[in-house]
Amino acid sequence: TVAIVWFRNDLRLRDHPALQAALKAGLAPLPVYIHAPHEEGDWVPGAASDAWRHRALAALDSDLRGRGSRLHVFAGDSLATLQAIAAATGATAVFWNRRYEPAIEARDTRIRRELRIQGLRAEGFNGSLLFEPWHLETKAGDPFRVFTPFWKAALSRWNPPRTQPAPSWLPGIEAIPGERALDDLALTPAPPEPRWDAPFWNHWTPGERGAAAALRTFVHDSLHDYSNGRDRPAESLTSRLSPHLHFGEIAPWRIVAELADAGPPDQRAAYVRELGWREFAHHVLHHFPHTPDANFNPRFDDFEWADPAPETLHAWQHGRTGVPLVDAGMRELWATGWMHNRVRMIVASYLTKHLRIHWRHGARWFWDTLVDADLANNTLGWQWVAGTGVDAAPYFRVFNPVLQGRRLDPGGEYIARWLPELQPLPPRARHAPWEAGTANCVVMGDYPRLPLISLADGRRKALEAIARLKRRQ
């Protein structure tokens, strides 16, 4: 008898609770993927996510084929598709690993109910978190709103799921009516020619094997200096596991287990704490499902965001603000689908404070361009920087991109890498070319000679706006 294993953001074979549940029940797992972007509510995956998923699904299919099975791909309404597959194969169960995006949680609840009414065994499992959102709460029984006590509670109840190997063999099941080919471009839209995503793949290998390799490289090369190194954008001292985690190509508890004997304990703890931020973000999204679209802190509903002029937003998006660290970050994002965490904070601070543009505009751009675009982490990140979120940085904390750049990228290497126009300048000047009397400097090509707005003015106006908000409330 068959159990449908409905793959979603859990594109791996190791540590896969839904797959294990099918095997434990003595059922033949039927690996299924259903393309249904219209079911994602207001947050249909962006172009960079689509490009990644296309490859991750191909990798999963290839890994399944290596074990005698394959991925059965469908498109359309998820419930109707699952019902049709069950009818065609006689499947008695549907298993999946949970997702926590509000639209998906609502959909899955409905699907579980409908399938059960039909007499099918329908069950979701935890495939992506160390703790389910309903397993950690404050002493008063509320969801945590502050990270430090959240993480303390998590560590005191530490009991992550156990790692499990991938099954070595899976039964093959014949083609099912309605199946689509993975290469069907309309199904998992691959970017049109010329492929803007082509340079991405110099940096990334989507799929479970790519995730395992990224973890090995990190443990071997970078873990020993993680807590300091993670703030230096010119060096690759972070794990770059975020897209792999988003698409479930590796389980967080697998990372924790593989780190157990690696590196200095303080570095290990610093890294696991970052996984803790990912947990926190997912718990917050589950408990406060309105936050992708609305301020967590309603006091900011009255804040005077500037009307974003299209050319200002365009300059920020395309790395042409004239502030080198901001522009370098935005170009790294465009070229690789990823941006260093510290630089994400700086470009977000620049948008929401110096330019006073609503964080939602930034969150949407990231959503479309990041290969690790993740509704929980992106929402938390943007609201944190903007000062509107849970446990957020206060709005009056305005990053100075020049000082940050000179401190964290003193050799100006990050700038030179992403803004080759500025490479001929001495390292210090790369962070503020306008200070170095470069107004007529030919080497800078068409890079803006002056910043879009003066950093001092932008900061002053942001602080005035927050002071006015406080006076009004």
Q: Which residues bind ligand FAD (CB under 6 A)?
A: 230, 238-242, 245-246, 274-275, 277-278, 281, 341, 344-345, 348, 366, 370, 372-374, 377-378, 380-382, 385
What's the full length of the chain, in residues? 473
DSSP 8-state assignment for residue 442: G
- Nearer to ligand FAD by Cβ, of 414 and 434: the residue is 414
Told to judge if 359 belongs to the known catalytic residues of this protein, a careful annotator would answer yes
298 Cβ neighbours under 8 A, 6+ residues apart: none
- Nearer to ligand FAD by Cβ, of 232 and 344: the residue is 344
Residue least distant from ligand FAD (Cβ) = 381
Shortest distance, position 419 Cβ to ligand FAD, whole Å: 20
- Nearer to ligand FAD by Cβ, of 83 and 341: the residue is 341
Shortest distance, position 214 Cβ to ligand FAD, whole Å: 8
- Nearer to ligand FAD by Cβ, of 61 and 332: the residue is 332
- Nearer to ligand FAD by Cβ, of 1 and 148: the residue is 148
Shortest distance, position 382 Cβ to ligand FAD, whole Å: 5
Shortest distance, position 118 Cβ to ligand FAD, whole Å: 36
Catalytic residue among 52, 96, 277, 434: 277
Burial class of residue 205, CB neighbours in 10 A (0-12, 13-18, 19+): middle
Tokens 């579980």 sit on residue: 112
Catalytic residue among 40, 126, 137, 305: 305
Catalytic residue among 137, 201, 334, 341: 341
Residues 372 and 126: their CA atoms lie apart, in Å, by 20
DSSP 8-state assignment for residue 297: S
Shortest distance, position 339 Cβ to ligand FAD, whole Å: 7
Told to judge if 40 belongs to the known catalytic residues of this protein, a careful annotator would answer no
- Nearer to ligand FAD by Cβ, of 166 and 393: the residue is 393
Q: How many helices (H) and strands (E) does the chain have?
A: 19, 5
DSSP per residue, 28-93: EEEEEEEE-GGGSTT----HHHHHHHHHHHHHHHHHHHTTT---EEEES-HHHHHHHHHHHHT--E
Told to judge if 305 belongs to the known catalytic residues of this protein, a careful annotator would answer yes
Shortest distance, position 282 Cβ to ligand FAD, whole Å: 9
Catalytic residue among 6, 316, 359, 434: 359
* Amino acid letter for position 102: P
Q: How far is CA 85 from CA 22, 76, 301, 313, 387, in A?
A: 16, 13, 46, 46, 47
Residue pair 225/361 in contact (Cβ under 8 Å)? The answer is no
Helix (H) or strand (E) holding 2: strand 2-7
Catalytic residue among 253, 365, 382, 434: 382
Q: Which residues are catalytic?
A: 274, 277, 305, 341, 359, 382
